[in-house]
Each structure stands twice: as C-alpha cells, then as structure tokens.
Chains A and B, each alone.
Chain A
Amino acid sequence: MALLGLLDREPSHGYDLKHDYDAYFARGRPLPFGQVYATLARLARDGKAIVGEAEPGAGPDRKRYTITETGKSEVEAWLAEPIPAEPYLQTDLFVKVVLSLMLGRRAEEYLDAQRAAHLRRMRELTELKQRDSLVDTLLADHGLFHLEADLRWIDLTEARLAALAEEVAS
C-alpha cells in the first residue's frame, strides 16, 4: 500500500518509487527491486495502476506507472481506516513472567533485565531524534511511546509479583 500511496503523488518509475520508499519507510531494510516490480505488476493487473511505454535510459525498467481512480480510492480508504487496536495480550513479556513464577524462578531479575534493554533502546531512539529530521523523529517517537507503555507494565507487574506468584501457584 505504501508504494501505491507514493504513486498517488505523481506518475513515477519503479526505481524512483523504491528510492522514495527506502528514504521514508525502509529504516535500514531497503525494498528489493524484485519486490517493487512484482508489486507494480500486481497493481497494474488489478487495475490500480497503468503501465506506460518503456522509456530509454539507465536502469532495469524505465516504464512509468500512473495511479488509476480505483487505486486513488483504495489509498484514500486505507489512509482513513484505523488499524486494529491490538490488545497485546499474548506477548513474550507476559508469558515469561507467568512462566517464571510457575517455575519458581526470580521474575524480578528478568523484569530488571527487560527494563534495562527497553531503556537502552529508548536511548538509541532518543539519539535518532537529535538528527533534525521530523520523519525520523516521528518514527522514533512511535517506538518510544510503545516502549514506555511496556515499562509502565513492567513497573506495575514488579510491584505485584508477590501476589501474582501466589495466584499462579494456587
């Protein structure tokens, strides 16, 4: 959907779309060319984009892709649709704590180690924010707020460990 969305700005080549995707969304995981062209072919097949004639120039594919009205409607609908508010009820974090208590292990040590790992990642993301790019800041903030929510859960769980251990043991 991100590629179709980028195409909604203006007609574009696969190479340029990949470049823009990598710049804004990839975050160290660039999109393989193969995936870009496979996605564009699928969009064309489904009537969401139109393929133009091949143009002379460098690169593996100089075809220009243009979004169709169907494609535009799909982008519009996707942008407005909320993603599921995941309850995150079965995370590893939760399972590790309950299993530790069941097995009589020290869940405090695991929680301390997890807190330290979360805080370390938060420091890395905070450093990322110093780079003056609002796009980087936006992504880092998203991670920071989620990690902070985990940390609140870790603190609360730690405060309840004795009671939890009793409940799990009974």
Chain B
Amino acid sequence: MTGANGSSLVQAGGVAIEGRNLVLSFGETPALQGADLCVKRGEIVAVMGPSGSGKSTLLYCLAGILVPDSGEVYFDGQRLDAMREAERSRLRRDRFGFVFQFGQLVPELTAEENVALPLLLRGTHREEALREARSWFEQLELEGMERHRTGEMSGGQSQRVALARGLVAHPDVLFADEPTGSLDSMNGELVMGLLTRVARQQGSTVILVTHEPRVAAYADREVIVRDGRVSSMAPVMQ
C-alpha cells in the first residue's frame, strides 16, 4: 500500500495517522524496532504491552514529540518526522490534543484557565476561550470548581480537567498516555467514559496507551507492543 507518494495514499484511505517501520534507540537501548501502526480517522485505538515494550515511545513518535531514528510518520498527508521542530510544535498545538498520566496542569492557572489553554495558544480571544472552557464543567461533573487551582482538586478532578484541556480545541488526534494510571477505579471509569463519549461526538481520533485491559476495552480495537514492534491481534479479533 505504500507508494512513492505514500502521503496521498494515506489521505485517500481515511487514515488519520500512520507510523511505518519506526526505529528509535535511547543510546544503546532499542525502544522501537520496526513498529507499524495505522489508525483510521475517528478510530479509538488502545496500545497495550508490558512495561518497557515501547508503547509510550511509539505514542510520542506518532505525536511528533520524539523523532524516530528511521521510519516514517504520516499525518494528514504530511511527513511528520521530516518536519522541523517548529513545524511539529505548531502541528501539536493546532491539530493534536494530549492527556498524560498525571494531568500535568499548570499549577499557577485556575481549572478553567487550564482547560482554555489550547484555545488561547491557538489565538482564540481570552473571553471566548474561557467561556468555551466553562461550558465543559457540567459534563466534567465539576460545576463550581472553575476557579479552583490544582492544589484544591483531587487527582480524579484534576485528570478530568486535563482531559477537557486535551479535547477542548477539537483535536484531530488525541494522544492519551495512561490517562487513568493514577486514578482509582471509579475515577478511571469517569475519565474513560467522558473521553470516549466526547471523542466520538467530535470525531477525534484517539491513540490511548494503557496497560489496563478495562481501559483498553473502551477502544474500538487494541494493538500490543512487544519488544518495540506492534503485534497484530489473533484472527479471532477480526
């Protein structure tokens, strides 16, 4: 399926993002050893695998945070891995959303300012961005906490704010790295229910790294990373 002009094939196939034969080492330690992953638009894919298998490294390569030593990353007809850092940075800001294990909210900002951040960075007027951010708090079940700072919120509440920040700008692709990893079962359910519901409503593609099968079960399909490669699932999944 890969042609000389691979990017146009990628676009034609309704593919959101694709990594081909990705290789990346950290010093002498190989992290990715020929990983392939192709994700369709609007699809929610869980990337699973043992600790140290390379699943987070794969996510960061696809998101343009890391650049592979070799291999190609295609997004929307463009070679992401061949872009300069400034271009990749712009792409991450304008087209991608991110949720990490530990929220990583900006502690100096209020909850609503944290949610509004991606809109502000894209140049949305401050009042409009904050209005949009506030509209999220009801479905986050965080009404009344708009002006709270991270220190005044529980881990579960902070993670819901982080999720809203990841989705508020309707990203083409949401990258979620262990988004429930620091949460108890109940808060994990809340976050995953919200994540999948909003992503499906918006049509956002989601690439979700998790080691928890119950979290992966929210996805449309799972892939498993072992020793830096993506294993296809057994035929029973087809």
Contact = CB atoms under 8 A, between A and B. Distances in A.
Contacts of A117: 236
Given A119-B222, A155-B50, A159-B50, A144 B214 contact: yes
A92 interface: no
B4 interface: no
Nearest to B218: A126
Contacts of A120: 236-237
Contacts of B236: 113, 116-117, 120
Given A112-B233, A113-B234, A113-B236, A119 B50 contact: no
A108 to B, nearest CB: 10
Interface string A140-170: 0000110110010001000100000000000
A109 B237 CA distance: 13
Contacts of A126: 214, 217-218
Q: Interface residue tally of chain B, by bracket?
A: 10 to 19
B50 A123 contact: no
Contacts, number: 46
Contacts of B237: 116, 119-120
Interface residues of A, number: 21
B234 A122 contact: no
Contacts of B144: none
Given A120-B236, A126-B218, 17 more contacts: A112-B231, A112-B234, A113-B235, A115-B233, A115-B234, A116-B236, A117-B236, A119-B222, A122-B213, A123-B218, A130-B193, A144-B214, A144-B217, A148-B212, A148-B213, A148-B214, A151-B213
Interface of A: 109, 112-113, 115-120, 122-123, 125-126, 130, 144-145, 147-148, 151, 155, 159
11 contacts: A115-B224, A115-B233, A119-B237, A120-B236, A122-B217, A123-B217, A123-B219, A126-B217, A126-B218, A148-B212, A148-B213
Interface of B: 50, 193, 212-214, 216-219, 222, 224, 231, 233-237
